């Protein structure tokens, strides 16, 4: 397989009617030396916990910290660690809903997620329940949370209440690596290009009619005013904390390039989405009750594995408000 290449030398500009470029062989892209995300190989030193990287691409397990009793100094180290490793898995926590909300609030304002009924008495949390009879699962496609919002959440915090005997892992993919490993010409062509992210693609009647809506024990429903919600975001977004650029394309919600039809957009959009999820960019978290994982939605994708049919799985989820992607 050859390097990815464009069908024409010059990249598209928003609004022009030139054909979109073709990205060939995204899985064989020129990976150069960038596949290893440097903090994975040489983590910073932390005084308040031990950190063990999960893969060469992203993710770390954290031991020796109690999230229900956390000093400001320890939290500052956690902020540093999540900026470096993008996904942090804390083991053996005993968090009640109020503890989880309090921890989430240290990252920023915690917004109720409008597409599911919140937990009773805790509007900031939803319980994500997969029942033994479920066929689909919540989050079972590579996505970043709520990219259809004008200001998608910066972080998601998921706490594991119960797991199936095996399965139900969550995979994550580093979208800084995805951006950095695109060939220079491709990156140049994508700069300035924007994508529409559509709620109807994954949720609601439109999605149900197309068979792409998840049907799970936790009902997800689209509230009035959200059915036609579409937000337009750059294909390469700059992280407000690290200043690094990340690919911001996802099969869950991205529907078309601005000014293009879905059909015109699909080949390049699908190729970019496939590039963003190549195995070398990923890590995988195995859940145990008491695990809390926080991830940064601005530079990662995630995928909830649907491989535990017949068994229940229960998680509690909080999302922290983010900013308009630029
Ligand atoms: O249940 C999971 O593993 C992840 C679900 C998901 O996509 C989310 O909580 O945003
Ligand atoms: Fe998600």
All structural domains of the chain, each given as residue ranges with its CATH number in brackets, are 36-320 (3.60.130.10)
* pLDDT at residue number 117: 87
* pLDDT at residue number 249: 97
Cα distance from N-terminal residue to C-terminal residue, the chain: 34
* pLDDT at residue number 9: 34
Enumerate residues lining ligand 1, CB below 6 A: 128, 138-139, 145, 156, 158, 170, 302, 304, 315, 317
For the chain, the C-alpha Rg in angstroms (whole number) is 19
User: Catalytic residue at 143?
Assistant: yes
Atom of ligand 1 lying closest to residue 158 CA: 9
Give the tens place of pLDDT for each residue, 175-192: 999 999 888 888 888 988
* pLDDT at residue number 204: 58
Matching residue, tokens 């049919």? 309
Q: For ligand 1, atom 4, which residue shows the shortest CA distance?
A: 304
Ligand nearest to the CA of 293: 1
The Å distance, Cα 125 to ligand 1 centre, comes to 13
* pLDDT at residue number 17: 63
User: Catalytic residue at 37?
Assistant: no
* pLDDT at residue number 215: 64
* pLDDT at residue number 4: 37
Between CA 130 and CA 133 the distance in angstroms is 8
- Closest alpha carbon to 144 in 136, 127, 135, 156: 156
Q: What share of the chain is helix, strand, coil (3-state, %, to 5)?
A: 20, 25, 55
Give the tens place of pLDDT for each residue, 44-103: 999 999 999 999 999 999 999 999 999 999 999 999 999 999 999 999 999 999 999 999
Instruction: Provide the whole-model pTM.
Output: 0.91
What DSSP line would sit under 60-94, residue for residue? EEEES--TTS--HHHHHHHHHHHHHHSEEEE-S--
* pLDDT at residue number 147: 95
* pLDDT at residue number 166: 97
**Which residues, given as ranges, of the chain have pLDDT below 70?**
1-19, 21, 24-34, 204-215
């Amino acid at each position: 397989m050859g390097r990815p290449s464009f069908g024409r030398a010059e990249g598209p500009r928003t609004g022009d009617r030139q054909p979109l470029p073709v990205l060939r062989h995204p899985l064989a892209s020129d990976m150069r030396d960038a596949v290893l995300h440097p903090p994975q190989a040489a983590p910073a030193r932390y005084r308040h916990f031990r950190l063990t990287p999960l893969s060469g691409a992203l993710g770390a397990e954290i031991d020796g910290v109690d999230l229900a009793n956390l000093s400001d100094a320890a939290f500052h180290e956690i902020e540093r660690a999540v900026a470096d490793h993008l996904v942090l898995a804390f083991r053996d926590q005993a968090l009640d809903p109020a503890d989880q909300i309090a921890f989430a609030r240290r990252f920023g304002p915690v917004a109720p997620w409008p597409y599911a009924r919140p937990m009773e008495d805790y509007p900031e949390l939803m319980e994500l329940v997969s029942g033994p009879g479920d066929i689909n699962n919540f989050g079972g496609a590579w996505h970043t949370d709520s990219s259809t919002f004008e200001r998608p959440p910066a972080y998601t915090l998921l706490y594991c209440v119960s797991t199936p005997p095996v399965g139900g892992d969550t995979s994550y993919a580093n979208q800084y690596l995805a951006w950095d490993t695109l060939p220079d010409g491709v990156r140049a062509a994508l700069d300035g290009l924007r994508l529409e992210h559509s709620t109807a693609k994954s949720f609601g009647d439109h999605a149900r009619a197309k068979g792409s809506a998840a049907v799970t024990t936790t009902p997800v429903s689209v509230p009035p005013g959200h059915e036609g919600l579409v937000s337009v975001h750059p294909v390469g977004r700059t992280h407000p904390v690290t200043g690094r650029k990340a690919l911001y394309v996802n099969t869950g919600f991205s529907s078309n390039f601005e000014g293009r039809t879905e059909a015109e957009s699909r080949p390049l959009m699908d190729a970019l989405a496939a590039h963003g999820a190549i195995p070398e960019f990923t890590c995988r978290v195995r859940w145990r009750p008491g695990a809390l994982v926080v991830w940064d939605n601005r530079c990662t994708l995630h995928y909830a594995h649907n491989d535990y049919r017949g068994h229940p799985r229960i998680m509690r989820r909080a999302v922290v408000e983010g900013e308009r992607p630029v």
